[in-house]
Structure 1
Amino acid sequence: MNGMEISTILQLTELKSFDDNWNLTKKVTSIVDSSEGRKIIIHILDIWNNVNDDAKQIWLDIIERAGFYPYYIDKVSSNNQYALSLQSQIRTAFFKSDYLHNVYFHEQQKEIEQALSLGSNIAVSAPTSFGKSLLIEEVVARKKFNNILIIQPTLALIDETRQKMSYYSDYYNIVVNTRQEAKDKNIFILTAERVLEFLDLPNIDFFVIDEFYKISTRRNDDRIDALNVALIRIMSLDPQAMFLTPTVDSLSKKFREKYQIRFFNTDYALVNTNLIEIRNRNGNPYSGKSKKMQLFKLLNRLNEPSIVYVKSPNEAYKLANEYLDWLEENSTTNNSLDIFEWIDSNISPDWQLKRLLQNGIGAHNGALPRHIVTSEIDLFNSGNLNVLFATVSLIEGVNTVAKNMIVYSHNKGTNPIDFFDFANIRGRAGRMGQYFTGNVYIFNDELGVEEFVIDVPYIDQHEISDEILINIPDDDVLDTVRKEKLTSGLDYDLQDIIKRNLISVSGQKNLYYFIEDKYEQLNFLRWRNVPNYEQLWQTLYLGYRFLGSNDRQGFAQNKAVTALKLINTSLPQVILEQKQYYQDKGKQDPINKAIDYILKFQRNEANFKIPKLLAVIDSIQKYVFEKKGISDFGDYTYFSSILENDKIDERFQFLIDYGVPTSAINKISKIIPANISGEWNIINYLKVNFHAIKPVLISYEISLVLKVIN
């Protein structure tokens, strides 16, 4: 046993012999603080029921020595035969949280918790299974800070964090969007964009950025500018800060020095990862149809929850449907899920996602309505779905893990994934306390290790966009000549508008010069409330021409048509009209093409891009017309708000962020009196009067509303 390779040890399914246990414990004792030692210990925990009973007390001592206190306490408390010595009791008490009920830190969590207690700014780079989110909850549970800000990259992660933090809602006001009011003590859970939109944000005492790697120029993330500018704004308030990221090699030295950040970089993991390459008889990766067949055979063989990583939503749906067709019999496992009634009424009975869900298969798509994304994840976590085909929007945007992670594609959209992407995908396999070992099946060549150092553009300023540069305080700017060129000829009010808009500086300047030069001919800009088609497409055309990358009038006209349909017509009707359009064009499967197009438009264009574009044009046209002494300028805020929030009354828009379908919100809004406003007043009204509201809701809507009010 002593001479056995670690890879062989990790394949053991039992360890019944006491002598074999004794020899292995001696080996592990000498390497207990190494990654290899921890892997063996985790494997022993994985096969615990098949380990010699007399050897378990020895293993428990080693588990404690490794600092695996969550596992140690779980095993000790589940069996009265394991008695803690006085020394063990003292050590265990040290690792117990003083604020979280029955929670024990592992060794390295405790080290970070102590640094937080000393008031240090910290950055943590660690594997997915490290338990970084527990550190956030520890800080919140202490109730030491008046205002805590947690920046999350996606709305799904915001909702997940909100649900965890709701336990503390008796002490803190939980704020997840800019329409909610701040109180004396708040936890703000926001995207970087929403931080910048929050004009009356109070002084922040404790600041967290989760998924901090997204701030780096290396990631080419769409929201890098907003994250950098939010960092500038909040760190100027001098809060205590914590930056969390999956495993990276290092973090900008200048950034660490500027804010006196302690950097904890560790490979300490509480689950093992078993890499399995899927290869043909020649040892090469499969391709084409044979690759697909191997995937289907693998999925059919696996009995545990499995996530299949694919490059795009189209590939997710295509593979999911082909896998269902490949199965000899469609074993309908989910005949009566509540979500089906909602799909039939609000999307279409013929939606391909319904057929997949009925057969225990999911296809995750970031363009789906938020509540469907959440419900699909819940169905997967509860075992109603055994397979989930997923894109990077799930891997980076939702905290979901599985026993098996299958890396089918080596692309992220049209670009190849790099080692960091691969490590992030790989990290979703396994779950602390549930799947001690996660399996990662690789269909392509395994990527070589690459160094990843997180640069912070606003600090390092090696590669920096105009949009970040213009927001950096003058004293911190390295290339002063470049910044002066950006602001030359602009008065302070216009500079402030351009800074806040956080979109192409040169595009905004050109748009300003165009409107100022031709303002007398641009009456179509002076609309308010809901525009007509002519006003909207011409306004959008200016936006796409100067701020986007498309100067075709037809492009703006198509966007305007669909946006106005969503405002003036019900979603099922818009889908049916789009289906008819595809049918007339002779397209195959017109209903699912229509659903995909409309839902994608609604989530990406109507809920985000068009309101953002209109806000920029709105700010500049107002500035020009006011400067010219014309008070009859446009105001796009109402239209942008109803487009962004699916026509929901402003009083109830927070319920969208809480995962309630707009269909339910529309029904609720007709019952709640007009004089009831404010998040907690509305939630309280729902609680007290739910017996009167429940009859108008379908089962799926009831379950999601109950999640909010409970």
Structure 2
Amino acid sequence: MDIFASCSKINDLLNLKRDNEARNVLIKLLAHHESNNINYTPLVNHLIRSAGLYPYIQQDTADWQDRFVHEAFKVDTGATEPLTLHREQSILLKALLEGESLAISAPTSFGKSFVIDSFISIKKPNNVVIIVPTIALTDETRRRLYPKFSDTYKIITTTEAVPGKKNIFIFPQERAITYIPKLKEIDILVVDEFYKASEAFDKERSSALIKSIIKLGAMSKQRYFLAPNISKLNENPFTKGMRFISLDFNTVFLEKHSLYEKIENEEQKNTALTKILTETSGKTLIYAGTYADIDRVSNLATRVLDNTESFLLQQFSKWVSKNYSSTWPLVNLINKSTGIHNGQLHRSLSQIQIKLFEEPSGLKNIISTSSIIEGVNTSAENVVIWRNKNGRSKLNDFTYKNIIGRSGRMFKHFIGHVYILEKPPESTDTSLNLILPDALLSDINEQDYKGELSKEQIGKIIAYREELSEIIGISNFDKFQKENSLQCDGAVVKAIATELQENPEYWRGLSYLNSNDTQHWETYLYKIIKFQRGAWDIEYSRFVAFVKILSNNWSKSVPELLSELKKHEIDVNTFFKLEKNTTFKLSSLLKDVNTLQKVIFRKTSLDISPFATKVAHAFLPSIVYQLEEYGLPRMISKKLHKSNVINFETQELTIHQAIDKFNSIGLNNIKRQTENLTFFDIYILGYFFEGIKKNKPNSR
């Protein structure tokens, strides 16, 4: 590469205001310097400054003006040392510090989290609410913020926690809604991936996100919404008063390899993937698109890749075999330096694989559905588009850009390689169209959104209020709406209320659900799950059988449970899916049935909340279930409990008390006091402790 010629080209492009093209050429030039171990010249540093990429300035070789800019754009992000922001990050931070509310579209590699951290560190707000789309992102965000701010803020991720004096709340939208009664005032509401408020991008959960934006936005002094690849935002009541900024500021360069142009059949595609897996260096994310394609790619990887020499991965493979299933294909896949990521795995298992993907001696490849772009903020040197599908649908341009944006990382890979094995969607500008969905009409007062509602929608709101109020009373209706007491959508709530009113005798034995005899549960479990037909991904009889067997989750291991479930044709992958449906969908139904039966039957003595709570925690002690979100698997918690290190069955133990207890005991003492810990158990405990340790008070 001719360095001077490249510098000349960059300078010309900057003069022509073609900043994106200039940055692309510049980033390739920096990659050349890195691969050839060349120091930047003052000219290269000056071009970095002119392009706005201030963090990349090499201070040892820069002129004083460029060194000054590098220092001037340093901010406190809560870390032990100030960090330099790039130009666009600094513009956003300035606007937030001046009190503006912003809706931002910026690339995946932009570094949006630094802006949030800087705002908290500089402005020191009392209450920050951060809504993220998944549990995995909840933990990832908590891990980022905990060492920085836990000395001054109570960082809350579970709905059971009580607010402190200063708080950072990190919730998926459904938890945020449940927590609203405990909140009075919010200084800033941050919504990550806010495009998911559109039904076009998340049909199942968009209404819950809109609801959380409505309710939390009303009590927020300031709002900061983040998304990638949005070119236009329609006028809507949910982002009213916010300035929309669409930024196309790249910090890495994506080199696309359009291999699909020479691929005519599946065999050729397999050959192309084999070549990528065996000949490329660096970490690789493989977007498979569907669960079936994850299996296909996994089988290929198992066939063509050599066994790993990594002791760490060998121990991980043994750990998965022992704690889940020896016949699970993931066991062999790990031995090929490859993991899987989807939205159904146990949270701690997904987190462990992402952690191993970051390790030099860890996983080299991860095969994933779209969960890798929705669930975590990881990236890799290589991204492979194996299938142009997202589940049953064709991959759209928005999702495609989001996936390939996982390639490359600031300070790690200047150039990300994207290998495209099926024809990508046509490039289009994405307009985000946010509307009030019908599913939320039961949650709002028509007077608040008079201008945004059609006559038909207003009619539905009034009819719903009248019909439900006739059953439960207008005062109860108003109370439930104000406190967000009901979790299911309006149609399901109305169906439950109508059934309870019309057939009270039929429901008199509801308290049998509190029995320890699982045979007593069957009748009412069947009745309750029928309120949400088609929601369980399996026949009713098999789902009920699963819930009954899952009730032994604390006393039996996962392999033991799977052995019992075998006769119902439930394997480990189905286990994950059904446990998720149990803890979320079934528990929500149970809670709504319990809330409604109390006001319809007027029997305060009838209360199935103990059963609903057990279901919500997968029949594990609540702290054990919550600790899985922090990266500590249930099987290790069982060992700690049996060794009397921590009593997880204590009802009064809160998650924050448990974390304090862990820090008080310390990792070394836990290793000494706990029986039968394996090498990989200890590795996981080390990772868990990384996520709960605080910075020393004098380090900030």
Normalising by structure 2, what TM-score?
A: 0.88
- Alpha-carbon distance, 1:157 to partner: 0.5
Post-superposition Cα deviations, 1:483-515, rounded to whole Å, max 9, x if no partner, equal 112212323314654764343322321321122
The counterpart of 1:291, out of the listed 269, 275, 282, is 269
Report what 1:15 is aligned to: 2
User: 1:567 and 2:551 equivalent?
Assistant: yes
2:136·2:351 contact (CA, 8 Å) conserved in 1?
Answer: yes
Report what 2:203 is aligned to: 221
The counterpart of 2:645, out of the listed 671, 674, 688, is 671
Instruction: Classify the secondary structure of the residue corresponding to 2:632.
Output: coil
Give the 5 Å matches for 1:682-693.
682-690=658-666, 692-693=669-670
Q: Could you say if the C-alpha distance between residues 482 and 678 of structure 1 is closer, same or farther in structure 2, counting changes exceeding 3 Å?
A: closer
Report what 2:609 is aligned to: 637
Q: Could you say if the C-alpha distance between residues 257 and 545 of structure 1 is closer, same or farther in structure 2, counting changes exceeding 3 Å?
A: closer
Instruction: Classify the secondary structure of the residue corresponding to 2:504.
Output: helix
Give the 5 Å matches for 1:176-325.
176-198=157-179, 199-255=181-237, 258=240, 260-279=241-260, 283=261, 285-325=263-303
Amino acid at match of 2:500: I
- Alpha-carbon distance, 1:83 to partner: 4.2
- Alpha-carbon distance, 1:123 to partner: 1.1
User: 1:367 and 2:358 equivalent?
Assistant: no
Instruction: Classify the secondary structure of the residue corresponding to 1:388.
Output: strand
Distance 2:398 2:239 in 1: 25
- Alpha-carbon distance, 1:416 to partner: 1.1
- Alpha-carbon distance, 1:528 to partner: 4.7
2:133·2:172 contact (CA, 8 Å) conserved in 1?
Answer: yes
Distance 1:416 1:59 in 2: 43
Distance 1:620 1:676 in 2: 27
Q: Could you say if the C-alpha distance between residues 688 and 309 of structure 1 is closer, same or farther in structure 2, counting changes exceeding 3 Å?
A: same
1:157·1:399 contact (CA, 8 Å) conserved in 2?
Answer: yes
Distance 1:312 1:31 in 2: 44
Post-superposition Cα deviations, 1:611-659, rounded to whole Å, max 9, x if no partner, equal 1222222222222211xxx4442x3322232233233323554322211
Q: Could you say if the C-alpha distance between residues 240 and 178 of structure 1 is closer, same or farther in structure 2, counting changes exceeding 3 Å?
A: same
Amino acid at match of 2:617: N
Report what 1:470 is aligned to: 443
Distance 1:24 1:502 in 2: 58
Distance 2:654 2:338 in 1: 39
Amino acid at match of 1:342: W
Report what 1:162 is aligned to: 142
Distance 1:608 1:184 in 2: 30
Q: Determine what percentage of the aligned residue pairs are the same residue.
A: 25
Distance 2:88 2:397 in 1: 25
Report what 2:698 is aligned to: none
Post-superposition Cα deviations, 1:347-389, rounded to whole Å, max 9, x if no partner, equal 1233321211122111223221111101111111213222211
Q: Could you say if the C-alpha distance between residues 110 and 557 of structure 1 is closer, same or farther in structure 2, counting changes exceeding 3 Å?
A: same
Give the 5 Å matches for 1:457-496.
457-458=435-436, 464-468=437-441, 470-472=443-445, 474-477=447-450, 478-479=453-454, 480-489=458-467, 490=469, 491-492=473-474, 493-494=476-477, 496=479
- Alpha-carbon distance, 1:58 to partner: 1.1
Post-superposition Cα deviations, 1:320-371, rounded to whole Å, max 9, x if no partner, equal 12222134x5455447644345324321233321211122111223221111
Post-superposition Cα deviations, 1:205-255, rounded to whole Å, max 9, x if no partner, equal 111000010001221332111111111111111321100001101113234
Q: Could you say if the C-alpha distance between residues 256 and 315 of structure 1 is closer, same or farther in structure 2, counting changes exceeding 3 Å?
A: closer
- Alpha-carbon distance, 1:51 to partner: 7.7
Instruction: Classify the secondary structure of the residue corresponding to 2:155.
Output: strand
User: 1:102 and 2:87 equivalent?
Assistant: no
Distance 2:38 2:276 in 1: 35
Q: Could you say if the C-alpha distance between residues 274 and 336 of structure 1 is closer, same or farther in structure 2, counting changes exceeding 3 Å?
A: closer
- Alpha-carbon distance, 1:427 to partner: 0.6
Deviates more, 1:179-188 or 1:246-255: 246-255
Amino acid at match of 1:484: I
1:32·1:65 contact (CA, 8 Å) conserved in 2?
Answer: no
2:526·2:544 contact (CA, 8 Å) conserved in 1?
Answer: no
Post-superposition Cα deviations, 1:405-463, rounded to whole Å, max 9, x if no partner, equal 111111111111111111111111111111111111112222112232222323xxxxx
Distance 1:680 1:52 in 2: 47
Instruction: Classify the secondary structure of the residue corresponding to 1:268.
Output: coil
2:313·2:337 contact (CA, 8 Å) conserved in 1?
Answer: no
User: 1:622 and 2:598 equivalent?
Assistant: yes
Report what 1:8 is aligned to: none
Amino acid at match of 1:474: Q
Report what 2:367 is aligned to: 389
Amino acid at match of 1:212: F
Instruction: Classify the secondary structure of the residue corresponding to 1:608.
Output: helix
Q: Could you say if the C-alpha distance between residues 676 and 113 of structure 1 is closer, same or farther in structure 2, counting changes exceeding 3 Å?
A: same
Amino acid at match of 2:620: I
Report what 2:621 is aligned to: 649
2:510·2:608 contact (CA, 8 Å) conserved in 1?
Answer: no
Deviates more, 1:149-158 or 1:604-613: 604-613
Q: Could you say if the C-alpha distance between residues 574 and 152 of structure 1 is closer, same or farther in structure 2, counting changes exceeding 3 Å?
A: same
Report what 2:585 is aligned to: 609
1:467·1:502 contact (CA, 8 Å) conserved in 2?
Answer: no
> What is the aligned residue count?
662
Unmatched 5+ residue regions in structure 2?
A: 694-700
Report what 1:11 is aligned to: none
Instruction: Classify the secondary structure of the residue corresponding to 2:189.
Output: strand
1:541·1:551 contact (CA, 8 Å) conserved in 2?
Answer: no
Instruction: Classify the secondary structure of the residue corresponding to 1:672.
Output: coil
- Alpha-carbon distance, 1:55 to partner: 7.7
Report what 1:175 is aligned to: 156
Normalising by structure 1, what TM-score?
A: 0.87
Report what 1:376 is aligned to: 353
1:232·1:472 contact (CA, 8 Å) conserved in 2?
Answer: no
Distance 1:50 1:30 in 2: 28
The counterpart of 1:526, out of the listed 480, 488, 511, is 511
Instruction: Classify the secondary structure of the residue corresponding to 1:527.
Output: helix
Deviates more, 1:672-681 or 1:164-173: 672-681
2:107·2:405 contact (CA, 8 Å) conserved in 1?
Answer: yes
Post-superposition Cα deviations, 1:641-700, rounded to whole Å, max 9, x if no partner, equal 223323332355432221111122233344336598344433333333345532334333
Post-superposition Cα deviations, 1:577-618, rounded to whole Å, max 9, x if no partner, equal 234555xxxxxxxxxx7222222222x222222212222222
The counterpart of 1:515, out of the listed 486, 492, 500, is 500
Amino acid at match of 2:511: R
Instruction: Classify the secondary structure of the residue corresponding to 1:488.
Output: helix
Report what 2:127 is aligned to: 147
The counterpart of 1:398, out of the listed 363, 376, 383, is 376
Distance 1:686 1:638 in 2: 27
Amino acid at match of 1:639: F
Distance 2:310 2:197 in 1: 43
- Alpha-carbon distance, 1:166 to partner: 0.7
The counterpart of 2:434, out of the listed 423, 448, 456, is 456
Report what 2:425 is aligned to: 447
- Alpha-carbon distance, 1:34 to partner: 1.8
2:623·2:653 contact (CA, 8 Å) conserved in 1?
Answer: yes
Amino acid at match of 1:290: Q
Amino acid at match of 2:130: I
Report what 1:326 is aligned to: 304
Amino acid at match of 1:557: S
Instruction: Classify the secondary structure of the residue corresponding to 1:187.
Output: strand
